[in-house]
Amino acid sequence: MMGPPNSSRPRRKPAVSVRTVVTFAIFGVCCFYAGVLVGAHTMGSNNCSHVEPQQTPNKEAEEPRFPADVSTFAAGMALVPRAGFMERFEEMGFPLDEPNRHNNQVLLLYSHDEALPPKSRTAAKSNTHIPVLENVSDATENCDTLNIILSQPGDKQQCFAILGQFRSHHVTKFMRLPLEGPLDHQAPLRLVNRGAQASGRVSMKTPTAEETKVYWETLQRYLNTLDATLDLLQPLAQKVAQQNTVIVMVCNHGQSELLMNFVCASRSRGVDLSTVLVFATDKETKELAEGFGLTSFYDETNYADIPMKAAGRYADVTFSAMMMAKVYCVQQVVLLGYDVLFLDVDIVLYKDPLQFFHDTASPYYNHDIYFQDDGSRALFYAPYSANTGMYYIRNNDKTKYFFNSLLLGGDLITATHSHQIALVSLLSEHASLYGLKVKVFARRTSLFPGGYSFHNHHDFMKELMGGKVDDAILFHMSWTTNKKDKEKFLRQMGNWFVQDKCVGSTASKILGKDDAIAIAIESKSLLEPCCLKEPNVSCFYKDKPSKIPCKDSPALDKRHGSFW
Give the mean model confidence (pLDDT) for residues 281-308: 92
Phi, psi of 164 (to 5 degrees): -65, 110
**In this predicted structure, what is the pLDDT of residue 27?**
44
The enclosing H or E element of 249 equals: strand 245-251
Q: How far apart are alpha carbons 380 and 344 in whole angstroms?
A: 21
Residue 316 pLDDT exceeds 80? no
Tens digits of residue pLDDT in 25-56: 444 444 444 443 334 443 344 443 333 344 44
In whole angstroms, what is the distance from residue 444 CA to residue 460 CA?
9
Is pLDDT above 90 for 497? yes
What is the DSSP secondary-structure string of 488-539? HHHHHHT---B-GGGTT--HHHHHTSGGGHHHHHHHTTTHHHHB-SS-----
* Mean pLDDT calculated for residue range 163-178: 92
> Is the model's pLDDT at 10 over the cut of 50?
no
SS3 state at 137: helix
Spatial separation of the C-alpha atoms in residues 157 and 223, rounded to whole Å: 49
Report the pLDDT value the prediction gives residue 200, as an integer from 0 to 100.
Answer: 92
23 pLDDT more than 80: no
Q: What is the mean pLDDT of residues 112-137?
A: 94
Question: Is residue 170 classed as helix, strand or coil in its secondary structure?
Answer: coil
Rounded CA-CA distance 340/244 in Å is 9
> What's the CA gap between 538 and 536, in Å, rounded?
6
Q: How far, in Å, CA of 297 to CA of 236, rounded?
A: 8
Which is it for strands 386-393 and 369-373: parallel, antiparallel or unpaired? antiparallel
Residues 311-317, mean pLDDT to the nearest whole number = 49
On whether the CB atoms of residues 286 and 236 are closer than 8 A, the answer is: no
Distance, in Å, from the CA atom of 277 to the CA atom of 235, rounded to the nearest integer, reads 11
pLDDT of residue 514: 63
Q: Which of 108-122, 195-209, 306-320 has the lowest mean pLDDT?
A: 306-320
Q: Is the pLDDT of residue 373 over 90?
A: yes
- According to the model, what pLDDT value does residue 464 have? 95
Q: Is residue 271 predicted with pLDDT exceeding 70?
A: yes
Per-residue model confidence as pLDDT tens digits over 414-453: 898 888 999 999 999 999 999 999 999 999 889 999 999 9
Cα distance between residue 41 and residue 49, in whole Å: 12
Where does residue 107 rank: exposed (0-12), middle (13-18), buried (19+ CB within 10 A)? Answer: exposed
Between 70-79, 150-159, 236-245, 338-347, the lowest mean confidence (pLDDT) is in 150-159
- What is the overall mean pLDDT for the chain? 87
Q: What is the pTM of this model?
A: 0.85
Phi then psi for 276, rounded to 5 degrees? -85, 135
**Quick one: pLDDT at residue 304?**
82
